[in-house]
């Protein structure tokens, strides 16, 4: 734990709460789009924009968000981001015309993008020698937020048959985010962190930190490409895995169960891989494990997706692999940035990573349209996994460690 930290356990709980509310309103949008489209008489292109806009804004806002975090402090910028998420996310429910809904959706996504670079910075400040612990905790918050939104949004929809029933979930998740923001703000007085890990001691270190840029740092690009590769794979499978199984002749029920296996398998890797990296003193080994899991799982999907018994293994391995790469990508900006520049490193990783993630569903759909099947899209995943394994060999060492 860092010198000057008070209330570190409370801080970790609040980071997990923040991460939870940075996911719920975004994941909830998918099930609501058909109702929104019908109620507001939108085209399918307009409806799809409401799903694509938040990740795009998350990526675009991550760059200024990272700079703001380094300049004004992670606690303040996280507060601002959570406030935008709550207000704009909730106000989507009151939008009656498409331009206003687009505006609220864009602000909502920007709030997430501004807030997220603060998480690695605070994780490093809380546990400068064990930043993986904090990463595992708030990554668990991301997972729980996604699961809660996936499970509860359809239940909220089922409470009414009205054309405008989509407004209740938007309002509900926005209200919950507002409660989370209030709890976050109230909790700030009970914990503090002197970001000693973000200070420098000599004029030479100060000059080096000021001149440093993640765009010119090879290690920062390694982390960025790992995060981008997992995002492309994760979102491709998130969008098309049920369709892939149904194309292979499985029932909708079985396809749904296999899709659930894929998502559930992300949790142990998302939480456990960063913590394992602290225990081993190596970022390389957990990243290699995650990349190898994705490689084996994607080969299985491409060659024997519906083979009895093992058909449950492949989505589990894929989910574990992409989630492990995701959480390691969230963690490693703390290892590449000089003191005081963690936000910029995280901003670059998140910006390029989320923009690349948006290409996954598009790529899978384009291959399906061009070839009539998902086979070639699936064959790209083992290639991508091999590339991730190659990058894993160049992962940076943990902060303060000479190992790994």
- The residues, ordered by sequence, that sit 6+ positions from 60 with a Cβ below 8 Å of its Cβ are 110, 113, 351, 355
Q: Are 199 and 340 in contact, with CB atoms under 8 Å apart?
A: yes
Half-sphere exposure of residue 171, counting CA atoms within 13 Å on the CB side? Answer: 10
pLDDT at residue 403, as a whole number? 39
Question: What is the arithmetic mean of pLDDT over 190-197?
Answer: 63
Residues 6+ apart with CB under 8 A from 46: 37, 98
Residue closest to 332 by CA, chosen among 305, 350, 355, 357: 350
Residue 29 located in a structural domain: yes
Alpha-carbon separation of residue 47 from 44, 50, 64, 88, 162 (angstroms) = 5, 6, 28, 18, 19
Q: How many domains does the chain contain in total? A: 2
Residues 6+ apart with CB under 8 A from 136: 270, 271, 272, 273, 274, 275, 327
Do 295 and 223 sit in the same domain of this protein? yes
Identify whether residues 187 and 218 lie together within a single domain.
no
Residues 251 and 103 in one domain: no
Residue 294 pLDDT greater than 70, yes or no: yes
Give 392's pLDDT tier (boundaries 50, 70, 90).
Answer: very high
100 and 244 housed in the same domain: no
- Residue 174 placed within a domain: yes
Query: Could you report the per-residue pLDDT of 343-352, keeping only the tens digit for each?
Result: 899 999 999 9
pLDDT at residue 65 is higher than 90: yes
pLDDT bin (cut points 50, 70, 90) of residue 172 is very high
- Clarify whether residues 164 and 241 are in a common domain: no
DSSP-H helix ranges across 248-283: 252-264, 266-280
Q: Are residues 143 and 221 in the same domain?
A: no
- Sorted by sequence, the CB contacts under 8 Å of residue 390 that are 6+ apart come out as none
* Cβ neighbourhood burial of 307 (10 Å; 0-12, 13-18, 19+): exposed
User: Domain for residue 127, yes or no?
Assistant: yes
pLDDT, the chain, mean: 87
Instruction: Work out the percent of the chain whose per-residue pLDDT is above 70.
Output: 93
CATH number for the domain spanning 92: value is 1.20.1250.20
| Integer angstrom CA distances of residue 8 from 79, 132, 134, 152 | 18, 14, 10, 31
Q: Would 205 be classed as within a structural domain?
A: no
Residue 272 sits at φ, ψ, to 5 deg, of -85, -35
Interatomic CA distance for residues 133 and 275, integer angstroms: 5
Q: Is residue 298 over pLDDT 90? A: yes
Same domain, 127 and 232: no
Domain that holds residue 384: 214-392
Q: Judge if 151 and 42 occupy the same domain.
A: yes
Distance, in Å, from the CA atom of 283 to the CA atom of 331, rounded to the nearest integer, reads 9
Say yes or no: 104 and 150 in one domain. Answer: yes
Residue 400 included in any domain: no
């Amino acid at each position: 734990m860092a010198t000057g930290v008070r209330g570190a356990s409370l801080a970790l709980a609040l980071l997990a709460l923040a991460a939870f509310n940075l996911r719920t309103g975004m994941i909830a949008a998918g099930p609501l789009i058909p109702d929104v489209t019908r109620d507001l008489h939108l085209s399918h292109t307009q409806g799809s924009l409401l799903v694509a806009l938040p990740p795009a804004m998350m990526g675009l806002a991550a760059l200024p968000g990272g700079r703001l975090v380094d300049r004004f402090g992670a606690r303040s910028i996280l507060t601002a981001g959570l406030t935008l998420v709550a207000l704009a996310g909730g106000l989507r429910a009151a939008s009656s015309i498409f331009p206003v809904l687009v505006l609220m959706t864009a602000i909502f996504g920007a709030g997430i993008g501004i807030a997220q670079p603060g998480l690695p910075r605070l994780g490093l400040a809380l546990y400068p020698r064990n930043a993986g612990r904090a990463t595992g905790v708030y990554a668990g918050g991301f997972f729980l937020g996604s699961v809660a939104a996936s499970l509860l949004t359809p239940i909220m929809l089922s409470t009414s048959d009205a054309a405008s029933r989509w407004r209740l979930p938007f309002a509900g998740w926005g209200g919950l985010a507002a409660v989370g923001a209030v709890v976050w703000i109230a909790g700030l007085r009970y914990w503090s962190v002197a970001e000693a890990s973000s200070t420098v001691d000599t004029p030479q270190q100060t000059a080096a930190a000021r001149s440093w840029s993640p765009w010119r740092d090879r290690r920062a690009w390694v982390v960025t490409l790992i995060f981008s590769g997992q995002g492309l794979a994760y979102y491709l499978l998130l969008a098309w895995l049920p369709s892939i199984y149904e194309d292979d002749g499985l029932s909708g029920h079985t396809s749904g169960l296999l899709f659930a296996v894929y998502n559930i398998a992300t949790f142990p890797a998302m939480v456990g891989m960063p913590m394992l990296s602290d225990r081993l003193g190596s970022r390389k080994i957990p990243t290699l494990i995650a990349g190898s899991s994705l490689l084996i799982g994607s080969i299985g999907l491409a060659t024997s997706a519906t083979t009895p018994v093992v058909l449950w293994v492949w989505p589990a391995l894929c989910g574990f692999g992409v989630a492990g790469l995701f959480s390691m990508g969230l963690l490693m900006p703390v290892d590449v940035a000089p003191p005081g520049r963690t936000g910029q490193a995280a901003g670059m990783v998140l910006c390029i990573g989320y923009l690349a993630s948006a290409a996954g569903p598009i790529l899978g759909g384009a291959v399906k349209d061009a070839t009539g099947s998902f086979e070639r899209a699936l064959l790209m995943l083992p290639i991508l996994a091999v590339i991730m394994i190659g990058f894993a060999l160049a992962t940076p060492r943990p902060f303060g460690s000479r190992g790994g």
